[in-house]
Structure 1
Amino acid sequence: MFHTDRAPDFKTVLIASGVVLTLAMGVRHGLGFWLQPISQAHGWTRETFSLAIAMQNLMWGAIGPFAGMACDRFGTARMIVLGAFLYAGGLLWMALVDQPTLFVVGSGVLIGAALACTAFGAISGIVGRSAPPEKRSWAFGISSAAGSFGQFMMMPVEQQLISLAGWQQAFFWLAALVLVLMLPMALRLKEPPLAAAAHGQSIGEAIREAFGHRPFQLLVAGYFVCGFQVVFIGAHLPSYLKDKGIMDPNVAVIALALIGLFNIFGSYYAGKLGGLMPKRFLLAGIYLSRSVAIALFLAAPLSAWSVYLFAAAMGVLWLSTVPLTNGIVAGIFGVKHLSMLSGFVFFSHQVGSFLGVWLGGWLFTRQGSYDTVWAITLGLGIFATLINLPVREQAIARPLAAR
C-alpha cells in the first residue's frame, strides 16, 4: 500500500487536488465547442462527434472503479501522473485523427481513462482520507467547487483558442497546459498513514458489501440521471442555441461559464449543508429543482437573458450532487475503499452521460430537433428526486472482526 509515514497537510491536499480537478473538468466541459468545427472540417454529422464524447464519458465510468482501486492501493499521485499523459495524448488524437471510427474509439479510451485518473473518483479518496471526519462533507464541496471553477475559467479560454489558433492548434495548446500544470500538483499529494484509513476489509468484500446494500443501489440509480442531464446540456447547449436562432457564439460561452461560476457556490454550500442536514433530502431537492429550471427554460421565450438565467440556475445545481453523494458513500462505508466505491457510483453517472450526449446527437440527426431529449431529461429528474428520498445514511454495521 502506497502510504507515507506522516499525515499529509490537509490544506496542501485540497489545493493540489483542486488544481488538478480545475484543469481536468475545465478542459472536458469545453469539448462541446469543437462539435461544429470538427464536424464541418471532416464532413461528419453531429452524431459522430457526439458519439466520441459519449464514448469518453462511458470509458471514464468503466475505467473509474479500477483507477479508484489503483488510487487506494498505490496512491493518487501516481495515477494523476498517468492521467496527465493520457489526457495530453487524447487531445492530440482528437486534433490529428480524421477517420471516424478511430476518432471515436481512440479519443474515447484515452480521455476517458485520463479523467478516471484525474477527476472526482480518483480525487475523492485522498480528500476523504485526509480530511477530519467533521470536515469531510465540506472538503468534498471544496473539491467540487474546484471542478466548477475549471469550467468557469476554461470556457472562454478554449473558445478563444479555437477562434485565434484554429480548432486543431487549440488541442495542442491544451495538451501542453495539462502536462505543465498537472504533473507538479501530483508531487504535492501525499497519502495519509494506513492506520488512519480504517479496517482490513478486502476489495472483494467491499464490493460485495456495497452492492448488497440498498442505499448504495439507490445512489447508483440516481446518479445515472445526473450524468444524463449535465452532459447532454453541456455538450449540446451551444448547438441548440444556434439552431434556435441565437447566432452569437458568445452567448453559449457565457452560459457555460455561468454554469461553472454559479456551481462554485452551489458545490461549496451543498458540501457545507451536507454536514448539517440529511444529504438525501438535499439530493432530492437538487434533482427536483433541475427539472423545474429545465421546464421553465423550455416554456419561456428564448433570448440571451433567458439563457443566462437558466445557466445560473443550473449552475447552482450542476455538480452539487458530487459532495453529497461522496459524503453518503464515505459515511456508510468508510474511506479505505472510497475511491473505488465512488468509481462504481460514478460509472452509473457516466452511463447516463453516454446516453445523454449520444441520444442528443442521434435523435437530432433523425428528428431535426432536441425536443425528445429535453422531455427525457425532465422525466429523469423526477425519477431521481423520488429515488434519493429512501436512502439511509447510517454507517453500515460490520462484524467486530472486520472493524
Structure 2
Amino acid sequence: MTASQDDTRFSKPLIYMLIGSAFILALSLGIRHGFGLYLVPMSHEFSWNHQVFSLAIAMQNLLWGAVQPFTGALADKYGSKIVVAVGGVLYTIGLLLMSVSSSAWLLDLSAGLIIGMALSATSFSVLLSAVGRAAHPSRRGMAMGIASAAGSFGQFIMLPTTLLLIKNFGWSSALVISAILAALIIPLAWMLKAPMYTDPNSKQVSHKPALSFKQILKIAFSHKPFIWLALGFLVCGFQVVFLGIHLPGYLIDHGFDASTGTVFLALVGLFNIVGTYSAGFLGDKFSKPHLLMWLYGLRGIAIIAFLALPLTTWSVYIFGTVMGLLWLSTVPLTNGIVANMFGVKYLTMLSGIVFFTHQVGSFFGGWLGGLNHDITGNYNIIWACSIVLSAFGVLVHFFVNEKAVVDD
C-alpha cells in the first residue's frame, strides 16, 4: 500500500470522532424526531388546538436555523466539543421545562426557544462539519454519510421507545427520561478531538489572515450557486418537518391508532440509515447537484403515489420506507457541496447559513400544517405545497455547481 493510499483511510482520532458524533446525533435527532408523538396527548390534556403545539415546534426549527450560523462560527473558532457540550446542557434543561409545560408560552420557551438553541449545537451542521474537516477529501462524503446515518438510527430506536414511555408513564415522565438521555451528550462531546486533515505531501503553508464573519457572508452571498443551494434546502425542511410532526395526526384523522404513525416514523429512521450512507458514498463518485435533483424529484413522486393510492397500513409502511431512503440523504450531499465550494476552514458557519433556509422551510412546514388542519380539518393544501416544492427542488439544482470559490 502506498503512502497516498494509506492516507485516505480513517485515522484513529477520526474513528473516535465518528463514534462520538454517531451517539450524539442519535440522541439529539432521535429525541427531536419523537416530538410529533406529543402533539395529541399534550393538546388533549390542555385543550389546545393543533396550532399551539405546531407553532412551538415551528419556532424551534426557525430558531435552530437562525442561531446555526453563529453556533457554527463559535465551533469554527473555539472547537466543536465545547459548543456541543453547551448544547447538551441546554437540551437537558429544555426537555425538563417541556415536561412541565401547561401553557402555550412555557411550551414556546422550552420546546421552541431553548431546545431550538440546543439543536443548533448538537445536530448536523456542527458535527458533520467537524467530521468533514478531519476526513481526507476523497472520503469526506462517506464520513459525513456515516455520521448522518447515525442520526437516523437514533430516530429508529427512539420513536418506538418514546411511544412506549408515553403509553406507560405519560408524556411528562417520557420527557424527563428523554432529558436524562440528552444529558449523555455532554460527556460524549469530548470525543470530538480529531484535528483538521492536512495533506502530508503539501509543502505549502498558508499565511492568509482569517476572514471575518462579514467577509465570509459577502463571499457566500455573492456566489449564486450557493444561493440556489440554500433555496433547495428550504424544500427539504418543509417536507420533513410537515411529515414528521403531522403525519401521525393525519393517520389518526383517518382512523389509524398512534402506533401506525410511530411505525411510519421508525421506518423513515431505519431506511434513512441506508439513504444517508448511500448518498455520502455516491456523492464521492457522482455530481452532488444531480443526485439532489433525483432525490427531490423522487420525493414528489412518492407523495403523489401515497395520496393517490388507497390509504392502508401497508401503504403507510411502504411510504415510510421510500421516504426514509430520501429523508436526510440531502444533508451529506448539501454539506459536501458547501465544502467543495468554500473549503473546510469555515464549513460549520457556511453550512449553518444554508441550514437556516432549511429551517425556514421547517417553520412553515410545521406551523402551516397545524394552521391548515385547524381551519379546514385536513392537510390538503400542505400536501399540494409539498408536491410543488419537490418540483422547485429539482429546478433550483440545475443552477448549482461544485466549483471551488475559496481554497482551504
Q: Which residue of 2 aligns with 1:110?
A: 114
- SS of the residue corresponding to residue 399 of structure 2 reads coil
The answer to whether 1:230 aligns with 2:233 is: no
User: Given the alignment, which residue of 175, 185, 188 partners 1:185?
Assistant: 188
Q: Assess, with a 3 A threshold, how the Cα gap between structure 1 residues 237 and 136 changes in structure 2: closer, same or farther.
A: same
- The residue type equivalent to 1:133 in the other structure is P
Q: Which residue of 1 aligns with 2:266?
A: 257
User: Given the alignment, which residue of 380, 383, 391 partners 1:374?
Assistant: 383
Q: Which residue of 2 aligns with 1:315?
A: 324
Distance 2:196 2:126 in 1: 18
Q: Which residue of 1 aligns with 2:225?
A: 215
Q: Which residue of 2 aligns with 1:274?
A: 283
Q: Which residue of 1 aligns with 2:5?
A: none
- SS of the residue corresponding to residue 357 of structure 2 reads helix
Q: With structure 1 as the length reference, what TM-score do the two structures score?
A: 0.94
**For 1:92-148, what per-residue CA distance to the aligned partner results, in whole angstroms no more than 9, with x for missing partners?**
111112121232134211000000000001112211111011100111111111111
Q: CA deviation at 1:74?
A: 0.6
> Which structure 2 residue ranges, 5 or more long, are not aligned?
1-10, 200-204
Distance 2:179 2:268 in 1: 24
Distance 1:151 1:375 in 2: 26
Q: CA deviation at 1:204?
A: 2.4
User: Given the alignment, which residue of 119, 144, 154 partners 2:148?
Assistant: 144
Q: Which residue of 2 aligns with 1:360?
A: 369
Distance 1:329 1:365 in 2: 39
Q: CA deviation at 1:381?
A: 0.6
Distance 1:106 1:193 in 2: 35
CA contact (8 A) 2:134 2:196 kept: no
User: Given the alignment, which residue of 48, 52, 56 partners 1:44?
Assistant: 48
How is 1:46-125 mapped onto 2 (pairs within 5 angstroms)?
A: 46-125=50-129
- SS of the residue corresponding to residue 163 of structure 2 reads helix
CA contact (8 A) 2:86 2:186 kept: no
- The residue type equivalent to 1:205 in the other structure is Q
Q: CA deviation at 1:8?
A: 7.0
How is 1:243-254 mapped onto 2 (pairs within 5 angstroms)?
A: 243-246=253-256, 248-254=257-263
The answer to whether 1:164 aligns with 2:164 is: no
Distance 1:265 1:257 in 2: 13
Q: Assess, with a 3 A threshold, how the Cα gap between structure 1 residues 41 and 216 changes in structure 2: closer, same or farther.
A: same
- The residue type equivalent to 1:127 in the other structure is V
CA contact (8 A) 2:95 2:175 kept: yes
- SS of the residue corresponding to residue 191 of structure 2 reads coil
Across the aligned residues of Structure 1 and Structure 2, the Cα RMSD in angstroms comes to: 1.6
The answer to whether 1:294 aligns with 2:303 is: yes
- The residue type equivalent to 1:206 in the other structure is I
CA contact (8 A) 2:343 2:406 kept: no
The answer to whether 1:242 aligns with 2:245 is: no
Distance 2:283 2:16 in 1: 23
Distance 2:162 2:132 in 1: 31
> Which structure 1 residue ranges, 5 or more long, are not aligned?
1-6
- The residue type equivalent to 1:375 in the other structure is A
Structure 1: which 4+ aligned runs deviate by more than 2 Å?
A: 193-201
Q: CA deviation at 1:75?
A: 0.7
